[in-house]
Amino acid sequence: MFGVFQRRVVSGSSSASVKIIGKSWRRTCPVASTTATCFTSEGEVLLHPRIIGNVRSICHVAQPGGPVNLRPLREVMTSLQPSVSMQMQTRMFSSSGDLVDAVVPFMGESISDGTLATFLKKPGDRVEIDEPIAQVETDKVTIDVASPEAGIIQEFVAKEGDTVEPGTKVAIISKSAEGASPPPPPSKKEEAVSQPPKVEEKPAPKVETAPIIAKPKPSASPPPPSRTSPSEPQLPPKERERRVPMTRLRKRVATRLKDSQNTFALLTTFNEVDMTNLMKLRSEYKDAFLEKHGVKLGLMSGFVKAAVSGLQNQPIINAVIDGDDIIYRDYIDISIAVGTPKGLVVPVIRNAEKMNFAEIEKEINSLAKKATSGTISIDEMAGGSFTISNGGVYGSLLSTPIINPPQSAILGMHSIVSKPMVVGGNIVARPMMYIALTYDHRLIDGREAVFFLRRIKDVVEDPRRLLLDI
């Protein structure tokens, strides 16, 4: 049998394309004991016992003297000589990967599951590749479930409120469906045809019945209205109450705060800081600082630098108890407490002792934006050796913050209030701030805590100490 065909031979990782014209197929193919599978463009499977490798495609086969327009393989196979041993099977198959699954991604080393909080899309919506379609809420962060391919959302497999793990299928995406739209509403004519004709109901004949004579009721005085005792409280009805389940983040925060109270011997010491010099420094150099570094100069960077100086002078506050041992940290990672609509998160400024004012401000700005938008990662919140909480942005005058385990202390900042102060024997108005240090009294004595808070006060009131290292 003579013919013209084209095949691709795959052997290992290399491939080659061979074109055979006007030669015997049986003579050309080497003798081998393996059977190769050939997929044609029409979905047919051709098995030949004397072909080496995997023939991916055979387009057409023509006999000598045939027309130029080659006939499909299905028509030619009926005229093959019986001496050529072949076996043909037909298999119908769809293009691979038409339907893809959107699954929950890896959520972090310490997170095994989460709650499917909400869907960002609806079935039938068009999504692009890597576009978020759902959000999974864990006890630390909120993670997006992205679409692996561009297409149309066919259906959601999971429901809101379900507990999901990494790899759990959430939705099915169809890549081939494009521009899917709901069917048009039926026309008036179709509605008229589809609706059955109305049958007029005839009124039922009236049946005369004898009037019923009501029996007179015995005269009896009505029971007196029930009166509640004056001591019984009048509770509002249940219809005016709403029951909402706690989010995973809120439950995690509540558990950690309660564990902190049960574990640590919490004690808080206070001091008062004159913010005049730091605010004057910011007002004088804020424009030049913004022009050079591209970020605004705030008060938080000054307190971070002051906390670094205090931790270097009192290393015990940067330490932590581990069983019967004390772990002293030779690095300073400052955690900044940020309040978000979903709860409190604490991103970490790594190696704060090696950063200047501009680098600290840039890092705080970046972490705050991620925390507010919900895109902050687990790694950006892991660790931390000391925490600063700024309740003053909400107007707090004084508070006793709670330690963030496994740390040993936390600094609380508060609002700036103008107060009358005695300066040089004169009473003048000064912008003052209360600062609070809550510490683990099992590890830190009152002496170290007061010295640390005093160092914060000295550096903030006179930032030149940082330049001179005094």
Residues taking part in catalysis: 441, 445
Q: How far apart, in whole angstroms, are the C-alpha atoms of residue 2 and residue 17?
A: 19
Residue with tokens 């931790």: 311
Strand order across the 142-146 sheet: 142-146, 132-137, 114-119, 163-164
For residues 14 and 32, is the Cβ–Cβ distance under 8 A?
no
Render 144-194 in DSSP notation, one character per residue: EEE-SSSEEEEEESS-TT-EE-TT-EEEEEESS--S--PPPPPPHHHHHHH
Q: How far apart, in whole angstroms, are the C-alpha atoms of residue 371 and residue 377?
A: 9
Q: How far apart, in whole angstroms, are the C-alpha atoms of residue 141 and residue 118?
A: 14
Pairing of strands 114-119, 87-90: unpaired
Q: How far apart, in whole angstroms, are the C-alpha atoms of residue 157 and residue 160?
A: 10
For residues 446 and 418, is the Cβ–Cβ distance under 8 A?
no
Residues contacting residue 262 through CB under 8 Å, at least 6 positions apart: none
For residues 296 and 290, is the Cβ–Cβ distance under 8 A?
yes
Q: If we measure between CA atoms, which residue out of 310, 293, 429 comes closest to residue 361?
A: 293
Quote the distance between the C-alpha of residue 161 and its chain's center: 15
Q: How far apart, in whole angstroms, are the C-alpha atoms of residue 306 and residue 455?
A: 7
Phi-psi region of 305 (alpha: psi -120 to 50; beta: other; left: phi over 0): alpha
Q: How far apart, in whole angstroms, are the C-alpha atoms of residue 173 and residue 156?
A: 9
Beta bridge partners of 345: 338
